Amino acid sequence: MYTRVKFVNNEYQTQEFRDDVNKAVIELEKQNIIELEKTKQANIDEIVELMEEECNNGTRVFCIDHLHYFEFDSSKERLDLQIQNVMHKINEVARKRNVAVILVAHYKNNRDRK
């Protein structure tokens, strides 16, 4: 069993570790991917609930893509604080349930917008 911190910090460099990662990739390729409804923005509370449910089913790795599609309330606090709260909620699940979470966002630099 590899520890999360050493894994995240890329401290494992043995051939045995690389073999284990390759085996994991082969196994993960066979697994199901849960896709959320694509016609609406994702709600963080629904994501956290789904993550908790999937943890109970044995899921150990989550990849959450398109973070920029999360539902944010423009009438409330600043957007950066809302994003920070989303990250805290996801991190809370990761730490509590000892799972890995990969987060992906596709933000453009403001100067690229026209």
Residue 62: in which H helix or E strand, if any? strand 61-64
pLDDT value at residue 113: 44
At residue 49, the pLDDT reads 92
- CA torsion, ordered 99, 85, 54, 56, to nearest 10 deg: 70
Residue 110: the pLDDT is: 47
For the chain, what percentages of helix, strand and coil (3-state, to nearest 5) are there?
Answer: 50, 10, 40
The pLDDT of residue 34 = 73
For residues 89 and 48, give the distance between their C-alpha atoms in angstroms, rounded to a whole number: 7
The answer to whether the predicted template modeling score (pTM) of the entire model surpasses 0.85 is: no
What is the pLDDT at residue 103?
A: 85
Task: Please state, in angstroms and rounded to a whole number, the distance separating the CA atoms of residues 70 and 5.
Answer: 28
How high is the mean pLDDT in each 10-residue block of the chain (114 residues)?
83 91 87 72 85 91 78 76 86 94 72 46
Contact 62, 91 (CB under 8 A): no
The pLDDT of residue 7? 82
